[in-house]
Structure formats: structure tokens, C-alpha cells
Amino acid sequence: MTQTDLTIKQAAELFGCSGQTVQAWIKAGRIKAYRLGETGSYRIPGPEVERVRAEWAYKPDVDAAL
């Protein structure tokens, strides 16, 4: 997997959950993300995605999904 920044939708597909779940994780501080502008959409840095995946007990085969 490349180290690119992901949208909430992309991260949700990668993690196998909904976009609302990813947004809740961001707001709870479980995932670090940044916004594009003051009210823009979120982006999740690639290294942060890898960190979350490494901490998960369940690890889907994301390379097959790409």
C-alpha cells in the first residue's frame, strides 16, 4: 500500500466500516486526520492508516481490495 492520504470514504472501505464510524473515530481522537481548509473534508495520512491497521486485532486483506 502506498503512503498517500485517504478520504473518509477510502478509509472506511479499507477498514471495512462506514464513513460515519471513521468520522466518529476522528472526533474521538482514535485516528489523526486533518481538514482541507476550515470546513473542508478530512484527509487521513497514510502513516496514520498503517498505525491503525497495525493496532487492529482483525486485519482485512486490503491489498486484495485495491
More confident residue, 3 or 25: 25
33 contact partners, CB below 8 Å, separation of at least 6: 26, 42, 43, 44, 45, 48
Q: Are 12 and 21 in contact (CB under 8 A)?
A: yes
Residue 8 scores a pLDDT above 90:
yes
Which pTM value belongs to this model? Answer: 0.74
- pLDDT tens-digit series, residues 44-62: 999 998 888 888 756 556 6
